[in-house]
Amino acid sequence: MEGGRSALEPASSAFFIGAAEVAAMARRLGLTAAELLPTLVPTAQSLARPPISHFPVGAAGLGSTGAIFLGANLEFPGAPLNQSVHAEQFLVSNAAGHGETTITHVAVSAVPCGHCRQFLQELRRASDILVLITSDGPDAAYRPLSRLLPQPFGPRDLLLEDSPLLMEPRDNALVIVRPGEEDSLLSSKALAAAKEAYAPYSGCPSGFAVVDGEGRVYAGSYAESAAYNPSLGPVQAALVAYVARQGVGGEGYESIVGAALVEMEEAAVSQEWTARMLMAVVAPRCRLVVYRCRRSS
C-alpha cells in the first residue's frame, strides 16, 4: 500500500466516487451515503457488458472510508460461462483496487445469487454487510447479508481468527524467479498485483496486468473464496480494472495488446491456461508472457 492507497489504484474511474464527493452529493440531495447507493444502481447497470445473457446487473457499494464503488457484470462470448464476472465481484475488486478495506452497504439491481453471497463471505464482518435489492421496488430496504445466507461457510471455518481477509492489506513477499524480468512495466505491475493477492486457501497468489495500444496498464489480483468456485481470477480482476477506466462507451477488449501473468513456481493452482484461453477469446492480438515467482524469504 502506498499512502493508504493500493499500488494498483487507477488514476480515475467511472466506477468510483471519492468520499468528499459522496458527502457533497448526499448533502445536496438530502440523503445519507447509504441512501445514495440505490440511486446509482441504474448507472452501474448501464456499464454492464452481458452479451450472452443480455441481463445487465449493477451494484453500488459503500466503503468504510465513505467512498462509493460501482460494479457490473461482464460476460465473454466464446469462453465458458464460469469465466464471467458478477457485479458484486466487480464491485469488490474495484474497491480493493482503490485501497478500500471493507464494504458496509451494497445496493444491487437483482437478488444476489448464491455465488455472490458466498464470495462476500471473504470480507470482514460479512454477515453485517447491509444489502438492498432495488428490484424489490418501493419496499426495498437494507437487510444484513446474514439473512440472505443464514448458515455461512467462510474464512472463520478455515483460517486463523487474525488472518487478513479479502480487501485487507497484505504483502505476499514475492520476487520473480529470473532476475531482471521484473523490470518491464507489465511484469512489475503484475508482480505488485500478485503481492496483494488473496490466496489463503491454496497459497498460490497471482497477479495479471494488461496494456492497451496507448500504453495504459491495468492490473488485478487473484481473490479466493473458501468455497473455491466463486474465486475471482487475476485475469478477470485486470479486466475489471480495464472496464472501470473505460466507463460509458469504452473500447472493447480488442484494444489490449499485451499481458503479463505472475504466479508461483509449480503452483498447485495455476492461472496460465485459463489466462491464455480467455485472452485468446477477448483480445486475439494480445501477447501474453508468464513469469514465475517465489517467496522472498
Q: Active-site residue numbers?
A: 88
One-letter amino acid at 123 equals L
Burial 153-181 (b: 16+ CB within 10 A, else e): ebbeeeeeeeeebbbeebebebebeeeeb
Total count of residues recorded for the chain: 297
Helix-strand-coil split of the chain, %, nearest 5: 35, 20, 40
d(CA 127, CA 119): 12
Of 250, 287, 274, whose CA–CA distance to 15 is shortest? 250
d(CA 212, CA 286): 9
